Structure 1
């Protein structure tokens, strides 16, 4: 018996076929996950996008706001003093605002990464007084961080409007 609930299904894209170098593989997977979570939040209805659907208070807009600040901290050297606060977008932020800021942070992070040829080298920092992880570590961490929150976003978006897929 077919479900009476209409499901919004997006095409579920498989993992990327990247180049063969370690850098191409890591960056390919990171960009795949970045696109997935931005698409999951893009077009989500207000106010549901900022409404907590689980007891922890997690919501779609907060997840993408958090990832924006993680990207900026990791690759652009921005200082974050309260990571818990990064899970809350401001009341005046629209879905489009948060998605645009995330895409801008990703573009700026990729500009930094484009200049990095040695994965063992530290992430370039605008402030040399701050220690930096290796490019390899940063990419691997960002794949884990983005993938984890993309999974959260999958569930939250389906709860909001039944949208599934990447």
Structure 2
């Protein structure tokens, strides 16, 4: 059964504090918006592409999980892990609950990495991205806000197409 009731948008965080908590509050708000859009649907609805490119709600969650790993774990922290596929293609094994759990775990690890860093100007341990430039943690946070916000907007549209639900 799907939840077609409008969801109340809680609005952006009211925090206006130091830089790190403000950036994390906005990023966490957007992360939760994506999760809220992916929850409450039948698995098939959440994995059905809503546009010709093949983008689905669960595909967005899978992509954002890989992006969290790529930027915070591999690039900033420098962990010696294999790169994850940043694509949105789903396999038969990709269940909604598992993908959302993996995303929440990636977010928790990313947040721990950010909280452990005492200087947002600290450069990433390794270059990443097409420019192969070393970025700062500040840049990574702002980039992930942009990336997650863009996909949260996609998720809004995909969810409305799936079952008519609107709002956060």
- Residues 81, 69 of structure 1: CA spacing in aligned structure 2 closer, same or farther, 3 A cutoff? closer
Instruction: Report the equivalent of 1:11.
Output: 8
Establish whether residue 80 from structure 1 lines up as the match of residue 83 from structure 2.
yes
Instruction: Report the equivalent of 1:114.
Output: 115
Per the alignment, in what secondary structure is the counterpart of residue 87 of structure 1? coil
How far the C-alpha of 1:95 sits from its partner, in A, is 0.8
Structure 1 length as normaliser, TM-score?
0.86
- Provide the rounded CA distance (Å) in 1 between the counterparts of 2:84 and 2:139: 21
Per the alignment, in what secondary structure is the counterpart of residue 43 of structure 2? coil
| Residues 65 and 106 in structure 2, CA contact (< 8 A), matched pair in contact too | yes
Instruction: Report the equivalent of 1:89.
Output: 90
Structure 2 length as normaliser, TM-score?
0.85
How far the C-alpha of 1:81 sits from its partner, in A, is 6.7
Counterpart mapping for 1:20-31 below 5 A:
20-31=17-28
Give structure 1 stretches of 5+ with no counterpart. Answer: 1-5
- Provide the rounded CA distance (Å) in 2 between the counterparts of 1:115 and 1:12: 31
- Provide the rounded CA distance (Å) in 1 between the counterparts of 2:163 and 2:140: 34
How far the C-alpha of 1:19 sits from its partner, in A, is 4.2
- Provide the rounded CA distance (Å) in 1 between the counterparts of 2:4 and 2:88: 28
Instruction: Report the equivalent of 1:154.
Output: 156
Per-residue Cα deviation, 1:37-56 (whole angstroms, up to 9, x for no partner): 11111222121111111111
Give the number of aligned pairs.
154
Per the alignment, in what secondary structure is the counterpart of residue 56 of structure 1? coil
How far the C-alpha of 1:82 sits from its partner, in A, is 4.9
Instruction: Report the equivalent of 2:104.
Output: 103
Aligned match for 2:68, one of 51, 71, 82: 71
- Provide the rounded CA distance (Å) in 1 between the counterparts of 2:67 and 2:17: 27
- Residues 151, 18 of structure 1: CA spacing in aligned structure 2 closer, same or farther, 3 A cutoff? same
Aligned match for 1:41, one of 38, 41, 55: 38
